[in-house]
Amino acid sequence: MTLIAFVAARGGDGHRRKGVGAMLQAFAALLLIANPAEARAQGPVPEVVVSRPLTQTIARWDEYTGRFEALKQVEVRARVSGALEKVNFTDGQFVKAGDVLFVIDQRPYQIAVDSARAELTRAQAQAVASTRDYARAREMTQGRTITARDVDQRKANNDIARAQVMSAEAALRNAELNLEWTQVRAPISGRVSDRRVDPGNLVQGGQADATLLTTIVTLDPIHFVFDASEADYIRYARASESHKKMARDFKNPVSVRLADETEWRRSGVMDFLDNQINRRSGTIRGRAIFDNKDYFLTPGTFGRLRLFGGDVSALLIPDAAVVSDQTSKTVLVVANDNKIVAKSVTLGPIHRGLRVIESGLDAKDRIVIGGLANPMVRPGATVQPKDGEIKEAPVALSDK
């Protein structure tokens, strides 16, 4: 300002006054370049649309990642040793309980059955003879023609013969059982895997190191197993005291979707919750059951389960009002001085087209729901708020 006054004092004629005006304009331009913030402040104030978030009581749905598992899974193993003669199924087909899947060479076991049957006949004949001797001995004691010692001996021989019959009968049943086990049958109904042994190979039977022939799994119904955190378990346990639908013994409804699905179309119920929390992971295992009439769901497939978590009071805003960066989700709020403030929020699911905000916002906050495309609308900027309204979608949309 000292330089301007000095130049004005030296300007004596009109020509000089024109030069002073030009110098003043040039100097003002220099001041604007030197202080761009002041120059921007003199520009138009951006206009934004604001609204307070909707406050509603909604059903909370907790989501968990898990895996489908078969209700029953059986490893089919040989119980007797021998050469495998036949395979009576096609790899991957459905089988019924009792179907003959494999046939092991039956000839050695048939011979064992015949031998056991012959041994039983011999033991029975000896038992008949021993019984008659014992009966005679008892008659002879009346005439005192035989001693009591001889009677006791014949009684013992008779008991031994009867025991030998019982032993022969047991041996025959065992031989027949081994013969029956040469036909390896399906213990459950379900889908069979591929054959692990081809005909002509020797298989090992027995209780240990028995040859694995194939596996069978049931498909309908099917289980879905997942892990929930200890905090979730405590929350559910406390809520179950006042809400029957969250109790352990109640069949809580659940939904599941696969990795490529966007809607929760598959419905089931909870049927099991483990009796303790895993000490290492701090989680508890839960299980749900689903119908699988079309056999589409396969054991081992990953999915996403949705479980009712109780009614909660939630704040709802348009999903477009959420600003994303590399580390967090934020929402722009207009403060009392009409300046933009960014608040970090925790997002919940979509409810009727609006995003649920679990934490980070207050019901009195004025959320920027319009004008976000303007580059001047950013944290710290002064804006001109205009009241708007947040509306729900007419129909419920699929949760994301």
pLDDT digits (tens, 9 = 90+) for 323-373: 887 778 889 999 989 888 988 888 887 878 888 888 888 888 898 888 888
For residue 116, give every residue at least 6 positions away whose Cβ sits within 8 Å of its Cβ, in sequence order, or none.
168, 171, 172, 174, 175, 176
Condensed to tens digits (0 to 9), the pLDDT of residues 43-57 reads: 688 888 998 988 888
Residue 204 scores a pLDDT above 50: yes
Contact 223, 70 (CB under 8 A): yes
305 or 238, which is more confident?
A: 305
22, with CB counted inside 10 A (0-12, 13-18, 19+), is exposed
Please list the residues that pair with 302 across neighbouring strands. 67
Whether the CB-CB separation of 70 and 217 falls below 8 Å is answered with yes
- Across the range 253-260, mean pLDDT stands at 91
Average pLDDT along the chain: 82
pLDDT band for 1, please (50, 70, 90 cuts): very low
pTM of the predicted protein model:
0.64
pLDDT at residue 246, as a whole number: 52
pLDDT of residue 394: 59
> Does the pLDDT value for residue 174 go beyond 60?
yes
308 DSSP β-pair partners? 61
Model confidence over 214-227: pLDDT tens digits?
Answer: 999 999 999 999 99
Check residue 45 and give its pLDDT: 86
Which domains, and CATH codes, for the chain? 2-41 (no CATH), 47-58+312-387 (2.40.420.20), 62-71+219-310 (2.40.30.170), 73-217 (2.40.50.100)
User: Residue 13 pLDDT > 80, yes or no?
Assistant: no
154 vs 67, more confident: 67
230/309: higher pLDDT: 230
